[in-house]
Structure 1
């Protein structure tokens, strides 16, 4: 019996050693670990930075439009984000596998976007990267019009309706990126599942895309396999 207890304790220790803890990508004080890419700030010295810290929250003011991008590159991770629209609902998103800046419309980095737009949370948008899902023609449109650049069908609709909470309440979004596969949950509902992505690593970006959005949680947990 004693040997069984020892084996169980060793197994639990091994599991603990191989189960990384979530790491907050936002320290609640400043934008350390991130950099801003807002084209308008290049052109107009008076343009404001649309990404600010307010009352301990990371806030995207929505305008001028652009991105807040991690300095680090990530692969095989689970990203947990809690957000809400601070005023009028609108558009925003989380970009994964981000790389070359301003690759689309001189604004968006090469990436796959997980949409946060009100009533469309969980949609995929292909931004000079691509991904496959089940029922692609039903969710993306005619195959002949698919593409990853300007003028092409780049949106892949999510799987559910009604997963978002009422305006003013906090939403939880979990994005799991493992190899070339992406799964997305909104408030516990599986809302999208893509595979055969044309990238499997990159930076993470938050958007300023018209609407003010508050973030109170941006946690990343590496996904690692159990090794003996």
Structure 2
């Protein structure tokens, strides 16, 4: 066996080991029955769990709400299925802070779908996720996967990478949150919420 083949094989093995090291075992963050493990807002009328699905919808006063994980995370992967419900859906997943999120649905400021794009307070949407129109299923379940390593956010939609964004002021550590935007008449559903910690 030539030295070149041996070297190439060694590189391949190291690459596989690195990928495996960066792909943690994801653990269920939602048990499908109740909101255990989440910091439920006082006087909760928005969030409900039923038959494996977490649903959030606006109340009559159209107040917003965030459902935070009780645990805090530094480097992580979060993966969830989501299904748009009734109304104009404006939701997202907060990343360690309420000032940075990955959008799900229609942007209130841009008036168009910005699913999988980062919203950064003070900057708006600095970049837009790619190929969303082709990948996003408006009336069926989708799967979003978000990886945050330091200030680098990588996002996949239905198995395809659609975003790689480096935030200048990402929070180092904090909980993850699901958003119900205020002043909307909307609902969104989540299932199979899983989170894994990265080194």
Question: One fold, TM greater than 0.5?
Answer: yes
1:65-87: per-residue Cα shift (whole Å, max 9, x none)?
Answer: 11001111101111111100122
Q: Distance in 1 between matches of 2:162 and 2:120?
A: 16
Distance 1:177 1:125 in 2: 14
Q: Which residue of 2 aligns with 1:115?
A: 103
Mark the runs of 5 or more structure 2 residues left unpaired by the alignment.
Answer: 1-12, 107-112
1:205 is aligned to 177
Question: What is aligned with 1:77?
Answer: 76
Deviates more, 1:191-200 or 1:52-61: 191-200
Instruction: Find the counterpart in structure 1 of residue 141 from structure 2.
Output: 170
Q: Distance in 2 between matches of 1:190 and 1:221?
A: 18
**Equivalent position of 2:38 in the other structure:** 34
Q: Matched residues in 1 for 2:54 and 2:192: separation?
A: 8
CA distance in 1, matches of 2:162, 2:172: 20
CA 216–74 in structure 1, closer or farther in 2 if over 3 Å, else same: same
RMSD: 2.3
Between the aligned partners of 1:220 and 1:165, the Cα distance in structure 2 is 22
Q: Which structure has the larger Rg over C-alpha atoms? A: 1
Matches within 5 A, 1:46-195: 49-63=45-59, 64-98=63-97, 109=98, 111-118=99-106, 119-127=113-121, 148=122, 153-160=123-130, 161-195=132-166
* Structure 1 unmatched ranges of 5 or more: 1-10, 42-47, 99-108, 128-147
Distance 2:83 2:38 in 1: 21
Q: So what's the TM-score if we normalise by structure 1?
A: 0.65
The alpha-carbon deviation at position 124 of structure 1 amounts to: 1.0
Q: How far apart, in 2, do the equivalents of 1:196 and 1:91 lie?
A: 22
Q: Residue 212 of structure 1: SS of its match in structure 2?
A: strand
Query: What are the superposed Cα offsets for residues 90-145 of structure 1, whole Å, 9 maximum, x if unpaired?
Result: 211100112xxxxxxxxxx3x31100014311111113xxxxxxxxxxxxxxxxxx
User: Deviation of residue 163 (structure 1)?
Assistant: 4.3
Measure, in 2, the Cα distance between the counterparts of 1:159 and 1:56.
Answer: 29
Report the CA distance between 1:206 and its aligned residue. Answer: 0.2
| Separation in 2, partners of 1:165, 1:123 | 13
More strand by share: 2
Q: Matched residues in 2 for 1:163 and 1:49: separation?
A: 35
The question of whether the paired residues in 2 share the 8 Å contact of 1:159 and 1:192 is answered with: yes
